[in-house]
Structure 1
Amino acid sequence: MIRILKQLRRRVRQLLRAVPAEKYAFWRRRPVRARTVLYESFAGNGMLCNPEALFRALLSAPDQADLLHIWVLDSPRRHPAITAEFATHPRVRFVRYRSSAYFRALATSGYLINNATFPAEFSKRPGQTYLNTWHGTPLKQMGYDMPGGAIEAANTLRNFVAADFLLAANAFMAEQMYEKAYRLRGAYRGLIVEEGYPRIDRQFLTEDQQRRGREQLAASGIELGDLDTGGREIVLYAPTWKGDSFSTPDDDVLQLVEAVSEMQSLLGERYVVLLKTHQIVHRFAAHNAELRRILVSNEIPSNVVLGLSAVLITDYSSIFIDYLPLSRPIVFLAPDLDDYTRTRGLYFEPEEWPGAVCTTPAEVTAAILAPLDMPESVAVTARASTWRDRLAAHETGSSARRVIDVVFRGQRSGYRVRPSSPDARPSVLLFIGGMLPNGITASAVNLLNSIDHTALDVSVQFAYPRGAAQLANQALINPAVRQFMRVGGMNGSKLTHLRRKLAARRGDADIHRTNRAQSALWDDEWTRCFGDVRFDAVIDFSGYGPFWSTLLLHSPPAVRSIWLHNDMAAEVHRRVNGRESMKLTLPEVFALYPEFDRIVSVSPGLTELNRRELSSYCTARPEQFVTAPNLIDARRVAASAAVSLRSLNEYRTEIDSTADGTIDSTVDNTATGEPEWVTQLLADNDTVWFVTVGRFSPEKNQARLLRAFAQVHARMPQARLTIVGYGPLRADLEQLVDTLGVRGAAFIVGPFANPFPILAASDCFVLSSDYEGQPMVILEAATLGLPIVTVDFRSVHDALPNHALHIVAQDDDALAQGMLEFMTGSVPAGTLDTTGYNAAALAGFLRATSLATGEMTRNS
């Protein structure tokens, strides 16, 4: 009954997801409404920022009177002033964020304007023009400049490369944020508009506008004094959000209120200190009645409030750059400066900032009240002038008009509009798999760390990482690499997807290009993931997933390659939990091979093997099969091996699932204290340790290794064995340890993000696999100088370039004999000239992908 209820709940969730997806698919088939504009600010958090300024300018422009304006609000009821202002306007509509009407507007509006990002479903259609205005020149580091910033940047990068126009307030923002921090140099194919920020236009207030603004603040509950006599001067406190993630900010409203109260007490009645929270924090404070007297409502544009303010207090928010054109005092309250600088990073040192930098509210009030002729005040004024010249030179009160000229009127001459800075490097995209700890991930990371990034512009794609092991591997990717993490899923109707899946079941591999609807489905998914980016070479480096292989075949013209890391025909029949789980999916991949320019195996022997064995699965030509060996990151292996074995419990990694999708529920990550195998391995005695590392799955055949070890241990009681890994056969291997009577001498351990200290502490590496490609773990063992005993499989003779392997037959007795031969001194240490090997392997990669020969299609 419980199982039935779970299945029922799963079906209900699928249905709830399917209905809006089907509606969105319908609207994406409808014509684009060329003269409709969709505006979104902070996921519907109000009529705010640059989109609001552009909206009002367009609404009043006589030559744009035919435009229909649609505003996204998270809930129209939460914004009564906005909805009331335009309730009867014939050309203004409101839609609720993520409603059916929202997705209709997202799919059919001719113009799309956002100051942040559209959701994962968004994919720009032909006929749509997308302007991303962003929401500020950054003081704090952004995108890839942030620690771990690639993950936070995933949907932002996807939005940026889809945009036709990116708005920059100044050259620093265009270059440092867009081109460097978000890696758009050479990838972005739209235009950067460096014409200032439309929202700042609203700060230059007439006397009448000032009065109306103060009246609006007073109506919201803020005590400004007698408006007829000018009232109290406004000191605006506008800090940025805090926390580890933009999507889950800290609720620090109470601390902010305490700071406001202290500053108000010290400044006296001449001033009123108001709090303007960041948009993503505003929800924590908006419904608190006690805050009405100090909290600035989202209904009042921030830049209008800046125009009313005599002093601005902030921390790391870009709002102070908006304030610069007014030439009024700025004070920074940054009690957490050291911590924030360490964890988030800043583009400018505090001593450069255009205002006094304080750590307490008392210091802030002292800075506000300080005489202007004091040396520190004079120095601050000079710094502020420099900042205005650099970052606010375009803020003359007419930015909105200039941006509208460029985007809506098609004017370019005389405006600061340019493409992204050119990049002469050939560009390559690699899909690198599921990022689980396995040979494919290791070889991908090694390749990315070995490529000369001054010569190649490298991007990778993989599914958005969620598990600890995936995140750990993602963190190993070379920082020079652009990362396209796939967020969300394919658009399109469920009927179209059903036809896709049925075609795959019946082996119709050509449908993705021969059927118009199916081809459009895949083209749209490429656009959803990569926008307008073009690559010279596109590589399916994993080679196991028909979805990913098909997606890469829908790239714009490029040299397309697919990697074969194993004896692929043998992989078809690999059994996991009694099922041949790849019996359907791998033939789907094989059927796509003829459409790739190169079919790349990781050793010469494997190339010949795959060319021969796959001939019954596909019609690929023999010359399509080429070789590119895996690379080894010797420095990382050596550094990782130097970690203390006693600290390994800290490196234990929770694996969410095996590569086959099977949950490894037998892993115990709650154990405390030093495990017995660590104590034994570190003991200064006469024990001899064999080790292997790999998935606990049938093709690795660790059961054969255990049986062989039992023979060795019976003759040599000092022998020990450690099997490191994870996977669905763990319980079976544990049971076999007991059945063979080697408990206490043979240990099943892991998973570990860093297994190298175990290898380094061991005496001999053993491999018992039924088949392999070019095992990364053999290269790693040789790098550490371990003697290597391996059973014979069809590609084993190419596993090491110098053939420094002790190869035995694929049976228990032969493997046991090989291990005994090591114990008697007959197996020499493994060796690998990693420098020479990597140079040859990297040259093979460049040849296989045509990146070395200039054969690729240049996409300038």
Structure 2
Amino acid sequence: MPLSSSVRRVRSAARRLKRAAEAERIAFWRSRPVRPDQVLYESFAGNGMLCNPEAIFRHLLTDPAYAHLTHVWAISDDDAIERFRAEFADDRRVSFVRRGSASYRQALSVSGWLINNATFPTWFGKREGQVYLNTWHGTPLKLMGFDMPAGAVQSANTLRNFLMSDYLLAANPFMAETMYEGAYRLTNVYPGTIIEEGYPRIDRQRLDAAEEDAVRAELEQSGVALDGKPIVLFAPTWRGSSFDDPEDNIDELAAQLAQLQEGVGDDHVVVLKTHQIVHARAASRPALARSLAPNSIPTNVLLGASAGLVTDYSSIFFDYLASGRPIAFFTPDADLYSSGRGTYMPLDTLPGPVDADAARTGRALAALLHGAPPHPQYAAWAERFAPFEDGAATARVVDIVFGGARDGYRARPTARDGRKRLLVYLGGMKPNGITTSALNLLGAIDHSRYDVTALLPKRRGSTDPLTQARIPAEVRQVFRIGGMNGSKAVHLRRRIDEWRGSPRTPGTEPWHERLWNAEWMRVFGEARFDWVADFSGYGPVWTTLLLHAPAVSEGGPDPVRAIWMHNEMAADRERTVNGKASMKRGLGTVFAMYSEYDQLVSVSHQLTELNRAELAEYASGDHFRTVRNFPDVEHVIRGARRPLSDFFAESDAQYEAADQEIPPRPAWYDALQADEGELRWFVTIGRLSPEKNHARLIRSFQKVHAAHPESRLLIVGGGPLRADLQQQIDDAGLADAAFLTGAQRNPYALLAASDCFVLSSLYEGQPMVLIEAAICELPIVSTSFGSVYGALPEGAIRIVGQDDDALAAGMTAFLDGDVPAATLDVDAYRADVKAEFEALLAD
């Protein structure tokens, strides 16, 4: 039975109260002193005492030089906590917290040392006095970070954690260069230290006879019958979405295990080591449970007790190379995996036999176990990927991180290539002119000279995937995810300042400085930039955040700060929608911060003069600059050439996949498709908001249509006035002649299908739609406002007065053949705009 609305409200309020209480506890502990002798460890989101953190922990625990340290492990499972608590019951220096609990938030907030092989939660921001070592959990074979399809979004929290880390651990130079500096784009912006000294967890593979006996005893105690036979470890990777149908996949895994055992033969026992996400389900199946290694045994200890390894795409095999023992690769879905996720090396170059059949894989490994010559790639791979695995990697890592050692150690800064580092906040990424301008700017930047980072919001529905896909591949994407830290009292003070329109500026109040410096650290970590820009210019939070960008280097100058002005900002501040001036306070707060910005950038020369005059009380005149918007000519032309039928291809496919009837096409589409050349189509594109004055356009069109019944009007865009405008159209009897299409992914096809572009705005910045209409070679009629002059070469636009009759006369002039098609020398225009932008960066 569906929940009533009152029950939903109560539950929603309860969730909000719980989150608020958690936030207050976090704020409290973040205000407490950091404990310099406390170490917090976490592996795989709390799945156990595992991987590199476990190896480092055990070393520190037994090294007399670090006897003063206390150790806290974050574990997600209460049973596991009790098991480990029993192991360390006699050592008061060791304690445990359940990941996600209040105790966990406390430990993460105050521990002086933080060691993780994955990521801390999105609310976490490193505090002054904390040292963060991220060890990651393996050399990558699979594509990582920005190299993955849709990798920017998937990697958001990982990149954030890396940028906060003081140290990043790499098992080998390949991992440092390919994953950290390449896939996660840390080159130039990460100021921490990369350690290339091998992996502490691989030290754990060196077992003596007693340790190997203990591993075998634990396996047998968990139900695995070894019968004195050597172990072959089967460790398939987790395929993520391939486990969407868990039962089918577990059945398949059980069949593969049986076939593998058949191929290996009776003189070895195949032991299954699953990914943590799969383990619980595998343990519930008797066919798998009899061969399943418990999570309590660290993976590298299992490797040390194994005579051979079968895996697929897991980084576990890189560790096993240090043993010199044979590896076989079982890859039943190689083509699908390579095309979907991708790998850094072709699978046919791996250091062992590769096969899609489990039994054949087992037989190939059995041959190696019984004395067949080593695989020809094995020695080269071991030399490349396990060059430092001599059993002392843990000691060297501890010397560097905890002992401050450098001389004679492989610890280095991130690569630098000399490019200037730019940071640009793109705005809310809604389908509007600012987003189009931002994407066009990113596409026009010379990425061989500039290292560009785009800052984006990450909240539900904030960024359309197709829009985000237009961000150039060279651009590093950083997302502001999770919530801002700080107590409710502090945030109340901040909001009161914003409500008054008098925000604190950097350095004026200690509480304000701490709040925003902490938010910078939470979002960007230790990253530094030479030039930062708020390309949106409308959001006080983002404007304030960029003001707290740290110096370009330790002790160096502050970065140059720029903020964009896409409109006549004073008029925008007073704009009303449904009787409310919704931007008055927000823009007032932004205006109050203009004096802290070095460059106030308008998007046309006329607009620069207007903003300089109207905003003189907020900033001196020499801060105002001009950079016109870049057009993306290729994108416009591609869109203009696409057929109208593409408008519904995606939605039609969704209806068909759901076996639902495809709804009728909208009236505007049917009218366009039915037109055989008798009709004359006016088109405008823009948000349905007051400054665009679509109401006047409809009134003017009503006059034109009365005299020219063949005329039609398309209004492309979405916004708060849609219902009012539709009512106006209906009341005027224009339902068959004037159409609201809503926002469209590809408005350029509608430009190409129309005959004349018309703009009715009260004011604009530098309307991109005028440039796009000129690229499509449409005649253009526009009302007169400051920035329309100079938007295109003189004479390209029929400019009319700001009244209904004047606009109607301009549209009639087109119908009479008196408004020629607009043209634009795109190459010359882009060269001029690029020079304006280069001059901005040279300041």
Shorter-chain TM-score: which interval? Answer: over 0.9
Which residue of the partner structure matches residue 426 of structure 2? 432
Tell whether the 8 Å contact from 1:774 to 1:798 is kept in structure 2 after alignment: no
Which residue of the partner structure matches residue 656 of structure 1? none
Deviations 1:142-167 (A, max 9, x none): 00111111111111111111111100
| Shift in Å, 1:684 | 2.7
Which residue of the partner structure matches residue 471 of structure 2? 477
d(CA) in 2 for partners of 1:820, 1:286: 77
SS in 1 for 2:104: helix
| Shift in Å, 1:651 | 5.7
Equivalent of 2:416 in 396, 413, 422: 422
d(CA) in 1 for partners of 2:241, 2:794: 48
SS in 1 for 2:383: helix
Equivalent of 2:497 in 503, 507, 510: 503
Tell whether the 8 Å contact from 1:465 to 1:471 is kept in structure 2 after alignment: no
d(CA) in 2 for partners of 1:639, 1:250: 42
Which residue of the partner structure matches residue 39 of structure 2? 37
SS in 1 for 2:233: strand
Which residue of the partner structure matches residue 800 of structure 1? 792
Tell whether the 8 Å contact from 2:206 to 2:304 is kept in structure 1 after alignment: yes
Which residue of the partner structure matches residue 344 of structure 1? 341
Q: Within 5 A, what are the aligned runs for 1:662-701?
A: 672=663, 674-682=665-673, 683-701=675-693
Which residue of the partner structure matches residue 818 of structure 2? 826
Equivalent of 1:186 in 182, 185, 188: 188
Which residue of the partner structure matches residue 258 of structure 1? 255
Q: Within 5 A, what are the aligned runs for 1:376-525?
A: 378=373, 381-464=375-458, 466-467=460-461, 470-510=464-504, 513-525=507-519
d(CA) in 1 for partners of 2:800, 2:369: 86
Deviations 1:510-541 (A, max 9, x none): 36642111111011111111111111111111
SS in 1 for 2:365: helix
User: Which amino acid in the other structure matches residue 336 of structure 2?
Assistant: D
User: Which amino acid in the other structure matches residue 524 of structure 2?
Assistant: F
User: Which amino acid in the other structure matches residue 157 of structure 1?
Assistant: L
Change (3 A) 1:209 1:530: same
Q: Within 5 A, what are the aligned runs for 1:602-617?
A: 602-615=603-616
SS in 1 for 2:448: coil
d(CA) in 1 for partners of 2:790, 2:538: 22
Which residue of the partner structure matches residue 88 of structure 2? 86
Deviations 1:406-449 (A, max 9, x none): 11111111111110012311111111100111111100000000
| Shift in Å, 1:678 | 2.8
Give the TM-score, by structure 2 length.
0.94
Give the TM-score, by structure 1 length.
0.92
| Shift in Å, 1:703 | 2.1
| Shift in Å, 1:797 | 0.8
d(CA) in 1 for partners of 2:641, 2:250: 46
Tell whether the 8 Å contact from 1:788 to 1:806 is kept in structure 2 after alignment: yes
Tell whether the 8 Å contact from 1:273 to 1:294 is kept in structure 2 after alignment: yes
Which residue of the partner structure matches residue 553 of structure 2? none
Q: Within 5 A, what are the aligned runs for 1:638-653?
A: 638-650=637-649
Equivalent of 1:101 in 100, 103, 125: 103
Which residue of the partner structure matches residue 742 of structure 1? 734
Tell whether the 8 Å contact from 2:603 to 2:766 is kept in structure 1 after alignment: yes
Tell me, yes or no, if structure 1 residue 780 matches structure 2 residue 772: yes
d(CA) in 1 for partners of 2:815, 2:189: 56
d(CA) in 2 for partners of 1:553, 1:260: 57
Q: RMSD across aligned C-alpha pairs, in angstroms?
A: 2.3
Tell whether the 8 Å contact from 1:76 to 1:83 is kept in structure 2 after alignment: no
User: Which amino acid in the other structure matches residue 781 of structure 1?
Assistant: A
Which residue of the partner structure matches residue 28 of structure 2? 26
SS in 2 for 1:795: helix
| Shift in Å, 1:390 | 0.4
Tell me, yes or no, if structure 1 residue 768 matches structure 2 residue 760: yes
Q: Within 5 A, what are the aligned runs for 1:121-132?
A: 121-132=123-134
Q: Within 5 A, what are the aligned runs for 1:266-305?
A: 266-286=263-283, 291-305=288-302
User: Which amino acid in the other structure matches residue 564 of structure 1?
Assistant: M
Which residue of the partner structure matches residue 730 of structure 1? 722
d(CA) in 2 for partners of 1:36, 1:799: 61
d(CA) in 1 for partners of 2:459, 2:62: 46
Tell whether the 8 Å contact from 1:787 to 1:828 is kept in structure 2 after alignment: yes
d(CA) in 2 for partners of 1:283, 1:844: 60
Which residue of the partner structure matches residue 743 of structure 2? 751
SS in 2 for 1:600: strand
Tell whether the 8 Å contact from 2:81 to 2:98 is kept in structure 1 after alignment: no
Deviations 1:811-830 (A, max 9, x none): 22222221121112111111
User: Which amino acid in the other structure matches residue 319 of structure 2?
Assistant: D
Deviations 1:318-343 (A, max 9, x none): 01111111122211121211111112
SS in 1 for 2:718: coil
Which residue of the partner structure matches residue 312 of structure 1? 309
Which residue of the partner structure matches residue 598 of structure 1? 599
User: Which amino acid in the other structure matches residue 640 of structure 1?
Assistant: G
SS in 2 for 1:382: coil
Tell whether the 8 Å contact from 2:202 to 2:391 is kept in structure 1 after alignment: yes
Which residue of the partner structure matches residue 657 of structure 1? none
SS in 2 for 1:828: coil
| Shift in Å, 1:129 | 0.9
| Shift in Å, 1:44 | 0.5
User: Which amino acid in the other structure matches residue 592 of structure 1?
Assistant: M
SS in 2 for 1:572: helix
Equivalent of 1:364 in 358, 361, 364: 361
Which residue of the partner structure matches residue 56 of structure 1? 58
Equivalent of 1:157 in 133, 145, 159: 159
User: Which amino acid in the other structure matches residue 816 of structure 2?
Assistant: T
d(CA) in 2 for partners of 1:758, 1:74: 54
| Shift in Å, 1:102 | 0.9
User: Which amino acid in the other structure matches residue 847 of structure 1?
Assistant: A
Change (3 A) 1:7 1:273: same
User: Which amino acid in the other structure matches residue 163 of structure 1?
Assistant: S
d(CA) in 2 for partners of 1:304, 1:800: 70
Deviations 1:695-736 (A, max 9, x none): 122222222222222222222222122211112222222222
Which residue of the partner structure matches residue 663 of structure 1? none
| Shift in Å, 1:791 | 1.2
Change (3 A) 1:532 1:346: same
SS in 1 for 2:727: helix
Deviations 1:655-691 (A, max 9, x none): xxxxxxxxxxxxxx99635444334324433211111
Change (3 A) 1:781 1:651: farther
d(CA) in 1 for partners of 2:380, 2:432: 53
Per mean C-alpha deviation after superposition, the further-off stretch among 560-569 and 273-282 is: 273-282
User: Which amino acid in the other structure matches residue 668 of structure 2?
Assistant: W
d(CA) in 1 for partners of 2:4, 2:232: 60
d(CA) in 2 for partners of 1:362, 1:115: 34
Tell whether the 8 Å contact from 1:712 to 1:719 is kept in structure 2 after alignment: yes
Which residue of the partner structure matches residue 665 of structure 1? none
Per mean C-alpha deviation after superposition, the further-off stretch among 788-797 and 464-473 is: 464-473
SS in 1 for 2:329: strand
Change (3 A) 1:432 1:154: same
| Shift in Å, 1:213 | 0.5
Which residue of the partner structure matches residue 173 of structure 2? 171
| Shift in Å, 1:17 | 0.9
* Structure 2 unpaired stretches of 5+: 551-557, 653-659
d(CA) in 1 for partners of 2:6, 2:584: 28
| Shift in Å, 1:373 | 9.9
Deviations 1:1-20 (A, max 9, x none): 97776655444332211111
Tell me, yes or no, if structure 1 residue 587 matches structure 2 residue 579: no
Number of matched residues? 826
Which residue of the partner structure matches residue 524 of structure 2? 530
Which residue of the partner structure matches residue 554 of structure 2? none
Tell whether the 8 Å contact from 1:469 to 1:753 is kept in structure 2 after alignment: no
